[in-house]
Amino acid sequence: MNDLTGRLKELAKQFDVPGVSVAILTDDGVETAVTGVLNRNTKVAVTPDSIFQIGSITKVYTTTLLMQLVDDGLVDLDKPVVTYLPKFKLKDPGAEKIKVRQLVTHTSGIEGDYFKDFGLGDDAVERYVSSLRRIGLSHPIGKFWSYSNAAFVVAGRLVEVLTGMNWDEAIRKKIYQPAGLNEHATLPGDAILFRASAGHVHKPGEKKAVIGRPWALPRSTAPAGATQMASARDVVAFGAIHMNDGQAANGAQILTPASAKLMQTPQVKLSMSETGAMGLGWLIEDWKGKKVISHNGGTIGQLSFLWVVPELRAAVCILTNADTGPMLADPLSREIFKERFKLDRPELPEVPKKPVDIDLRKYAGTYERLNVTVDVEVLEENKLKATMKAASLAGEEPSPPQVFPLTPLDKERFAIVNGEGKVAGLLNFQGFDRAGRPDYIFVGRLAKRVK
């Protein structure tokens, strides 16, 4: 890919993404490429120093802050959270058993998609965590992996209590400033000093994406990824810290080598992936013998992607400002890794030529998690149909129901097959009883069968 900028323009036009910023880090330095505008209303152009909301990539930053406390001897990952937050409670009993490690491995069981807004004050995270006494568990503690934004906010509150700083101040003083990350921000008052992106969303009946509202998710969920913004080149600089034994490019030691290594060490296997695992904060994959640590992020109309390959000393970041960003990032990242690093991103499995012989009636039913209901029905031709209805999470317009025709790959994994007959995504069923009926469906997070 000799003309990276030209390819960006092509893909941005194809998928209607107003603006894109890319950074590729190697031992030779950082290559950047940009296209488009940050905001279709203002028409401000994307530049390499422009900042985008990076969403849940933030979870790696929050874990880094937590591991600094481990390095300082202030936190034991295997102690209960209540050791450090004595007032921590959930609606369901058992909160006192959740361990710190489980917060940053998505195994705590805390219902994840709770985005209550507690304003812009410095006490937003504290008030959010106090309000979790209204929120329950989506699964037994430690039994499954289920993505939990709420758990990372609890981790962020732990950082606040033990540093004596609010989360925004802590990330600025303990990561940005010592590491020389000057193109990062977490608050609107800081973002206005940069060329900052606005998210764009596609609405029914509209040909072009329009500005998404609200502009940002609540500050109360900042440690999970609600508010942080950064340039693509600063994000890969952060990623480099984790492949350089915790050391920033300016020589500052942000983490001990032991903690940097532990974050990249598998803690729990991911059931929906043959090679995937969860580290501490990082997602871990095996790309034909090469370990890749990564994280994606999504806010309202802003989608972000970060991959780090420690063995190759390489990192790639793609930042987009439209809800179609994943459609652009998938082919682009595959081309970058193939052409620059001779690496093939793993493909999704193919549909078996011979239909899988299972009783689909056992999978039918209604599954629920916070703000989401999934109805599963049996179709003809060895297929299921899942209909997912989700409420608005943080004041944005609710999405219409999503319908997924599902083709079984095996007892647990089902494929979402597109119009071309190719697998476009996976979901799976977990927690089978003696009769072979699953107790949970996994669609990004676990939802429990209710009937």
End-to-end CA distance of the chain: 51
Nearest to 260 by CA among 280, 283, 278: 280
Is 56 in the active site?
Answer: yes
Q: Mean pLDDT of residues grouped by 10 in the chain (451 residues)?
A: 90 98 96 98 98 98 98 98 98 95 98 95 98 96 96 98 98 98 97 97 90 96 98 98 98 98 96 85 95 97 98 97 97 97 91 90 96 92 89 69 90 87 89 96 93 89
Burial (CB count within 10 angstroms: exposed 0-12, middle 13-18, buried 19+), residue 168: buried
Contact (CB, 8 A) for 368 and 113: no
Nearest to 111 by CA among 375, 370, 396, 436: 370
Confidence at residue 379, expressed as pLDDT on a 0 to 100 scale = 87
Confidence at residue 394, expressed as pLDDT on a 0 to 100 scale = 62
In this structure, what token pair is assigned to residue 293? 């640590």
> 16 in helix, strand or coil?
coil
Q: What's the rounded Cα separation, in Å, for the pair 26 and 340? A: 10
Contact (CB, 8 A) for 416 and 400: no
Count CA within 13 A, CB hemisphere, residue 215. 12
The whole model's pTM is what? 0.95
Superfamily classification of domain 7-346: DD-peptidase/beta-lactamase superfamily (3.40.710.10)
Nearest to 20 by CA among 29, 6, 370: 6
Confidence at residue 1, expressed as pLDDT on a 0 to 100 scale = 62
Helix (H) or strand (E) holding 258: helix 257-263
Domain ranges of the chain: 7-346, 360-449
Q: How many CB atoms lie within 10 A of CB 162?
A: 18
Q: What is the CA radius of gyration of the chain?
A: 21
Question: What are the φ/ψ torsions at residue 344 (nearest 5 degrees)?
Answer: -105, 120
Confidence at residue 397, expressed as pLDDT on a 0 to 100 scale = 66
The size of the chain, in residues, is: 451
Active-site residue, from 21, 56, 138, 148 = 56
Contact (CB, 8 A) for 64 and 71: no
Confidence at residue 380, expressed as pLDDT on a 0 to 100 scale = 76
Confidence at residue 205, expressed as pLDDT on a 0 to 100 scale = 80
Contact (CB, 8 A) for 411 and 357: no
Confidence at residue 384, expressed as pLDDT on a 0 to 100 scale = 93
